[in-house]
Amino acid sequence: MRRNSSLYASSFSFGPGPLSTALKALIGANVVMFLGQFFFSIVTDVLGLRPIFVVRYFWVWQLATYMFLHGGIFHIVFNMLALWMFGTELERIWGTRYFLKFYLVTGVGAGVLTVLFSLLPFEFAQSVHRSNVIGASGAIYGLLLAYALYFPDRPIYMYFVFPIPAKIFVAIMGAIAFFSSLSDAGGVANATHLGGLLVAYLFLKGARLHPMSEVKYRYLKWKINRVRKKFDVYSGGRADDYDRRVH
């Protein structure tokens, strides 16, 4: 007897699912830029986020380009792994267009808040002003927050060992980023992490409160009710009727 190997292969899966076209494009862009950094150091100097250059010379492109650069192989691997793990399900829920918009807005927004943070009259903030900030972590932290809002009780394995509900995991990561941003040792990256969390929260909160979103919701609801009346769709039979049908 021959066993159908495809049957056994389909019964096992790893991770949230295959990479979508959008995720492939984002990961590919990060990999290409990382290789560019490896061969040409000027890439990091020109495209990394230096708040002093944004403020003094108006190098505003750095607010977007910094999120495609990384400081080492582990930096990019873990960020891209997180992008796949948390971004896959969010893209399924939102759709590709909204997902990409959220990712880019949180990344750029985190960069803007990093620049504003660097202007604060404190030593730990001023150290950020002349630093070179790189990495997709601002956008990744935004995805983490969104994931925790949509799946608050889903376990995330911290350090790949300890299962923690997503809402607790994000709270812990946010607290670490906050206290680390107050020290010179971790101020650069962690200020951007906090920025990603804040922008993601405001983005999602604003989407719920935006007046046009409410208008669209009311219109779609009215349209659905109109279709129901047109085709006279209602539940038939009694609640305890075993042969209950929809007419």
CATH number at residue 54: 1.20.1540.10
pLDDT digits (tens, 9 = 90+) for 156-193: 887 667 889 999 999 998 888 877 777 655 555 788 99
Greatest Cα pair distance in the chain:
76
192 domain-assigned: yes
236 domain-assigned: no
Q: What is the C-alpha separation between 161 and 157, in angstroms, rounded? A: 5
Q: What is the C-alpha separation between 117 and 98, in angstroms, rounded? A: 28
pLDDT of residue 126: 85
pLDDT digits (tens, 9 = 90+) for 109-130: 999 999 999 999 988 888 899 9
Written as six digits, the tokens of 190 are 């962690």
233 domain-assigned: no
115 domain-assigned: yes
219 domain-assigned: no
125 domain-assigned: yes
* Host domain of residue 190: 19-211
In the predicted model, what is the mean pLDDT of the chain?
82
User: Which amino acid, residue 101?
Assistant: K
Residue 48: how many other CB atoms lie within 10 Å: 19
5 domain-assigned: no
- 121 within 8 A of 52, measured Cβ to Cβ: no
176 domain-assigned: yes
Burial bucket for residue 150 (CB in 10 Å: 0-12, 13-18, 19+): middle
Q: What is the C-alpha separation between 235 and 246, in angstroms, rounded? A: 5
Give the predicted TM-score (pTM) of the model. Answer: 0.77
